[in-house]
A = this chain, B = another copy of it.
């Protein structure tokens, strides 16, 4: 028969409440000598504590909940791998809850499940917060951190610290890279209308304006970063006689390039592409895809550290990875 707290209490001649406090490592009134004795007896009897009960007693646990928006993209793979490694190293166990595809019900359900398990912290990856979710999280006093999403202009997000790439910088760098190579009719494909999309659009607009080019909203095609809906998107953008397209994710890029081949376009001769993300997908298409590369693994690692130590918000540096999808029309700007 499995030994219980009662067995330990009888043997140690203390109350079950004392045993419970000691085995939960609660800092409360008991003598160190008693603690040593109780722990020795627990070990001797082979007592294995019921963790759910222990968590309830301690009102905390060694669990980290990762709440993930499950749009069909692949950028989160390395973030998750890094969170797994970093939480494991810090002595925590992570588990993942899906928040659907910007589904308010599933998001709030996931938050409830996490809070009910008295998790030590919550990481929200690329999640669109609604008012209810933001409120519940802040009321809970549970440490939270956003990953790959932030919005300093939106009250739903301002209460949370984040670890992310700088989306405005991403949009700026991608656009600037194309302009420096002689492109001026530059489209932006697949961004969404939420914070991330807006920030990347701002970066695009800033780079265009700085170079005396007029950013045009009819060169922007909205999407959700996923593979699939690129067929009409490419045709629509081709009708605008663009030189180059910035894709909002690698999934959008591979979708666009697939469609470009079906339309017999020669890339980058007829049309240049630069993608945002820089995952392995950029290496498997023909041509390979130049990208603004995000360091997702680093992002996951730093986010766990940030959560556990309550560090300030962090931007993880991004960089351009030149591959073969951008045609050099002129190197004039580069020769300045």
Name A's interface SS: helix
CB of A16 to closest CB in B, whole Å:
16
A51 at the interface (CB under 8 A from B): yes
Give the interface segment out of A141-149, A204-212, A254-262.
Answer: A254-262
Assess the A254–B284 pair: CB atoms within 8 A: yes
Copy number of this protein in the oligomer?
A: 2
Chain B residues with CB under 8 Å of A50's CB are 56, 116
Assess the A84–B63 pair: CB atoms within 8 A: no
Within 8 A of B (CB), among A84-128: 84, 88, 93-98, 100, 106, 109-110, 113, 116-118
Rounded to whole angstroms, the CA-CA distance of A76 and B212 in the bound complex is 47
Contact partner, A98, options B84, B261, B281, Cβ 8 Å? B84
Chain B residues with CB under 8 Å of A254's CB are 284
A285 at the interface (CB under 8 A from B): yes
Assess the A55–B52 pair: CB atoms within 8 A: yes
- Please judge, given known A-B contacts A52-B118, A280-B227, whether A93 and B113 are in contact too, CB under 8 Å: yes
Q: A residues engaging B (CB < 8 A)?
A: 50-53, 55-56, 63, 70, 72, 74, 77, 80-81, 84, 88, 93-98, 100, 106, 109-110, 113, 116-118, 227-228, 254-255, 257-258, 261, 280-281, 283-286
